[in-house]
Structures are given as C-alpha cells and as structure tokens.
C-alpha cells in the first residue's frame, strides 16, 4: 500500500470538497482545487522529509 497514493487520494478528496464549497464556476473551482491539492502534497512531502531528520521509533527486532 503506497502511502503517497493514499496521501494523494486524501488531498484530492479534500481539494474537490473545498473547491465545490467555496467557489463558483469551473475555472475558479479548478484553480482552488489545484492550489489546495498541490499545497497538501507539497506540504506532506516537505513534512516527511523534515521528519527524516529525526529518526526515531523502537529499535528493530533482533
């Protein structure tokens, strides 16, 4: 199961939702969809790389 794929699906769902809720017209909705979708994807990837700097969690089993 790809985490990035799940993140993309989630971002797409949320982006479509807010585009429909907050905008009128296909052009404006499309613009808001892209803004939110790309923002969520980029933000998620940025946070993922940021967390890479802080390795943690339990040690692997012997």
Partner 1 sequence: MPAKDDTAAASPATKVAKPVANPYLAAVLAWVLPGAGHAYLGRSARALAFLALVLSSLAIGCSLDGRLAWVFRGPPLQVLATFGGLGSGAPSLVLHMAGYQGAVEAPGYEYGSVFILTAGLMNMLLVLDAWDIASGRKS
| Footprint on this chain of partner 1 (rule: CB under 8 A) | 1, 3, 6, 9-10, 13-14, 16-17, 20-21
Looking at residue 54, what DSSP letter applies?
Answer: S
> For residues 3 and 27, which CB has a smaller minimum distance to partner 1 in the complex?
3
Cβ 61 to partner 1, closest distance in Å? 16
Looking at residue 35, what DSSP letter applies?
Answer: H
Vertex 25: Cα angle to 17 and 27 (nearest 5): 90
> For residues 21 and 50, which CB has a smaller minimum distance to partner 1 in the complex?
21
Cβ 7 to partner 1, closest distance in Å? 9
Q: What angle do helix axes 3-22 and 26-52 make, rounded to 10 degrees?
A: 150
């Amino acid at each position: 199961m790809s985490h990035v794929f799940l993140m993309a699906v989630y971002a797409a769902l949320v982006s479509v939702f807010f585009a429909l809720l907050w905008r009128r017209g296909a052009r404006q909705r499309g613009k808001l969809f892209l803004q939110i979708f790309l923002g969520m994807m980029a933000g998620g990837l940025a946070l993922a790389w940021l967390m890479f700097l802080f390795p943690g969690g339990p040690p692997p089993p012997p």
